[in-house]
Amino acid sequence: MTEAALPALADAPIAPAAASLAAKTRRRRALAYVQAAPMALVFGFFFLVPLLLTLMVSFWDYNEYEIIPAFTLQNYVDVFEGCLDTGNACTTLRTYLSTLKFCALTWVFTLLIGFTVAYFVAFHVRSRNVQMVLFLVCTIPFWTSNVIRMISWIPLLGRNGLVNDTLMGLGLIARPIEGLLYSDFAVVLAFVHLNTVFMIVPIFNSMARIDRALIEAAYDAGATGWQTLWNVVIPLAKPGIAIGSIFVITLVMGDFVTVGVMGGQQIASVGKVIQVQMSALQLPAAAANAVVLLGAVMLMIVAMTRLIDLRKEL
């Protein structure tokens, strides 16, 4: 037998094994597609189709009486009208700045509260049952609608509400504080109340996966509590912080009910503009504003995912 024939004989048993492995890989991949198909269909029908319809309607014309399915860019021109004027900020820019202000304030407060609560539950509550009870307590507000939860603040923050009456009874103020209700403060307070739980859960999920040996090693190396928090806990909790931030930002950016109820219908936001246009049956204009809002939110999400690679971290 020649030397040239030896490699061929050596490779002969490997070929069927490689073919069998490739066939198994193809079957697993096909099974994965079959398993994902129902969710993909639901996602496509309830998300992609409405999104495409919204995009299509945003290019239609309209008047006081009807929607005209004729292509036009006027809706987007109206959205950005006056924005090229460097002297004064356009209406759209002012509205987005107002919305971003609420978004930033809500994000800061929900992050501080959510991180503190998640840290306490993850590292100071040892019992799983107690942790579940505490999470159940956090979800109690969701047993009622958002509108009811916001209306419940009115007897507390109103001019003759419990807060003003208590402060006046204690002699701390001489007259009721006007800015507690129907103000930026009330809007931010309601946003924090409604969205903090969306920050708590993902941060706790990240903290629960931290190996406690790393905490002990940091203490053994002489690190203080704050050094351990800053150099160990926070870096390992970054995925939860990023996911919670995405939840909070997307919810606040498109919210119009909270701004309307707690702002007394006097505070502008992007979601409120879209809601008013829909109420006036200006659906193409509302669709154009919705597309612009979606683009702004997606840019913010992309920026956050650039800072933290969620796929790598998770």
C-alpha–C-alpha distance, residues 145 and 288, integer Å: 29
Sorting pLDDT into bands at 50, 70 and 90, what band is 212? confident
pLDDT tops 80 at residue 11? no
C-alpha–C-alpha distance, residues 107 and 186, integer Å: 15
Contact 257, 193 (CB under 8 A): no
Q: Which residues pair with 68 in a beta bridge?
A: 61
- At 303 the pLDDT is 85
- Write out pLDDT tens, residues 95-105: 888 899 999 99
Mean pLDDT is lowest, of 15-24, 182-191, 231-240, 272-281, for 15-24
Q: Where are the alpha helices (DSSP H) in the chain?
A: 5-11, 14-43, 49-57, 74-79, 91-124, 128-139, 146-151, 154-157, 162-169, 184-208, 212-220, 225-228, 234-236, 238-254, 257-262, 270-279, 283-307, 310-313
Sorting pLDDT into bands at 50, 70 and 90, what band is 309? low
Question: Apex CA 244: angle with CA 233 and CA 128, to 5°?
Answer: 60
Find the mean pLDDT for residues 262-276: 86
pLDDT tops 60 at residue 2? no
Find the mean pLDDT for residues 139-147: 77
pLDDT tops 90 at residue 239? no
Position of tokens 């919810």? 251
- At 87 the pLDDT is 62
- At 9 the pLDDT is 47
- Minimal CA–CA distance to 278: which of 251, 296, 256, 259? 256
Contact 244, 111 (CB under 8 A): yes
| Contacts with 50 (C-beta within 8 Å, 6 or more apart), sequence order | none
- Write out pLDDT tens, residues 58-67: 999 888 788 8
- At 162 the pLDDT is 86
pLDDT tops 80 at residue 223? yes
- The CA distances from residue 5 to 10, 74, 293, in Å, are 9, 75, 68
Sorting pLDDT into bands at 50, 70 and 90, what band is 109? very high
pLDDT tops 60 at residue 241? yes
Q: Which residues pair with 67 in a beta bridge?
A: 62
pLDDT tops 90 at residue 159? no
C-alpha–C-alpha distance, residues 116 and 122, integer Å: 10
C-alpha–C-alpha distance, residues 119 and 68, integer Å: 55
- Write out pLDDT tens, residues 283-302: 899 999 999 999 989 998 88
pLDDT tops 70 at residue 86? no
- Write out pLDDT tens, residues 16-64: 767 777 777 888 888 888 888 888 898 888 888 989 999 999 999 888 7
- At 310 the pLDDT is 64
